[in-house]
């Protein structure tokens, strides 16, 4: 009985949360747009092989530089590859590089950040280590992100793995700082002291009590960061340090086509450019919605407003 009531309450809580979320989307159409864009891009990435009318890496030199129309919706490029198919295939590369790179940077950043935040005020080796990590992060962040990424790709060699690594490296300090600030304030909370007094080892305190409570800003950052990482991937490919031709990727598509703009052949680079812009925009919107929703104070204000308007609350 008790269990059934529990499950029911949870289900009610879940559906109420969903209702709240939907209400937020209704009152904030920009957030809805963001989710729609991201969802579409993700779906395209998954279903590209079935949606795309042409293979993305097959040249057809007989049909070169055809303007947008039928059967080539977005036209063809200088080698006769179908732009529409390539634009659809591109998120597979761009998104997977961006997501992998961002997750890796979040993993490195939050782990180090939690340790640094926890040990910063402890005398001895911990403090020294924390200081060392923070100063290293300062050094990393002193480089312009793009230049640093180019240097990393140059060192590791031109491959997908090195772009992922480059993205992970340049973003890790952001998560490191976010996590450290959070952990430093949580560390002084009574429940953390209680856990320590109860004899819990440090790693368990960090893993069980601190990290779960410090994750909110990190999650908000993730979405924004994925958008920026897509942009960084495209930028690296644009200058030739990214993916290899003719891999369908927005940045390299822009690079392959921009020489032709002057002669009036705008479509090889404008369409991938638009796709890139829309995607980054979508991820930014999602990021700002997460920021609002994960901040308890702002969520409460929002809920209060919604309650007075529609009688809905989480």
How many residues of this chain interact with other proteins, rule: CB under 8 A?
Answer: 27
Q: What tokens appear for 133 in the block?
A: 């990590």
Instruction: State the Cα–Cα distance between residues 282 and 206, nearest whole angstrom.
Output: 34
Q: Does 308 bind other proteins (CB under 8 A)?
A: no
Stretch of 29-37, 134-142, 175-183, 260-268 lying at the interface with other proteins (CB under 8 A): 260-268
Q: Does 256 bind other proteins (CB under 8 A)?
A: yes
The tokens 């969520």 sit on which residue? 299
Q: What is the secondary structure of 21-79 as a DSSP string?
A: HHHHHHH-HHHHHHHHHHHHHHHHHHHHHHH-SS-TT---GGGTTPPS-SS-TT-B-TT
Buried b (16+ CB within 10 A) or exposed e, 116-142: bbbbbeeeeebeebbeebbeebeeebe
Cβ–Cβ under 8 Å, residues 297 and 220: no
Q: Tell which positions 33-92 bind other proteins, by CB under 8 A.
A: 57-62, 64-65, 78-81
Q: Does 253 bind other proteins (CB under 8 A)?
A: no
Stretch of 98-106, 139-147, 262-270, 295-303 lying at the interface with other proteins (CB under 8 A): 262-270
Q: Which is nearer to other proteins, 82 or 226 (CB)?
A: 82
Q: Does 240 bind other proteins (CB under 8 A)?
A: yes
User: Rounded to the nearest whole angstrom, what is the least distance from the CB of residue 262 to other proteins in the complex?
Assistant: 4
Q: Which is nearer to other proteins, 65 or 313 (CB)?
A: 65
| Eight-state DSSP code of residue 313 | -
Cα-Cα-Cα-Cα dihedral of 208, 214, 220, 221, to 10°? -100
Q: Which is nearer to other proteins, 15 or 159 (CB)?
A: 159
Q: Which is nearer to other proteins, 55 or 217 (CB)?
A: 55
Give the x-and-dash track for 150-179 against other proteins (CB under 8 A): --------x---------------------
**Single residue of 43, 261, 274, 309 touching other proteins by CB under 8 A:** 261
Instruction: State the Cα–Cα distance between residues 207 and 214, nearest whole angstrom.
Output: 11
Per CB under 8 A, residues contacting other proteins are 57-62, 64-65, 78-81, 158, 240, 244-246, 256, 258-266
């Amino acid at each position: 009985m008790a269990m059934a009531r529990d499950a029911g309450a949870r289900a009610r809580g879940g559906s109420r949360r969903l209702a709240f979320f939907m209400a937020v989307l209704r009152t904030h159409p920009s957030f809805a747009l963001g989710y729609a864009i991201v969802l579409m891009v993700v779906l395209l990435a998954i279903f590209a092989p079935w949606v795309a009318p042409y293979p993305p890496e097959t040249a057809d030199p007989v049909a070169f530089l055809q303007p947008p129309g039928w059967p080539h919706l977005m036209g063809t490029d200088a080698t006769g590859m179908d732009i529409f198919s390539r634009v659809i295939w591109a998120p597979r590369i761009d998104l997977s590089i961006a997501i992998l790179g961002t997750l890796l940077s979040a993993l490195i950043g939050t782990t180090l950040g939690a340790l640094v935040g926890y040990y910063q005020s402890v005398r001895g080796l911990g403090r020294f280590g924390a200081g060392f990590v923070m100063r290293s992060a300062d050094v990393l962040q002193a480089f312009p992100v793009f230049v640093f990424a180019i240097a990393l790709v140059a060192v590791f060699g031109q491959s997908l793995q090195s772009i992922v690594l480059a993205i992970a490296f340049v973003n890790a300090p952001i998560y490191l700082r976010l996590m450290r600030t959070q952990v430093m304030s949580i560390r002084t909370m009574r429940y953390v002291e209680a856990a320590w007094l109860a004899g819990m080892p440090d790693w368990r305190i960090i893993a069980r009590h601190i990290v779960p409570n410090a994750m909110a800003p990190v999650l908000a950052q993730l979405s924004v960061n994925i958008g920026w990482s897509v942009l960084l991937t495209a930028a690296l490919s644009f200058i030739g340090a990214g993916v290899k031709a003719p891999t369908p990727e927005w940045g390299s598509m822009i690079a392959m086509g921009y020489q032709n703009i002057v002669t009036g052949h705008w479509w090889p680079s404008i369409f991938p450019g638009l796709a890139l812009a829309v995607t980054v925009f979508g991820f930014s919107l999602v990021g700002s919605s997460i920021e609002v929703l994960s901040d308890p104070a702002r969520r409460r204000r929002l809920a209060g407003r919604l309650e007075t308007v529609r009688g809905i609350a989480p």
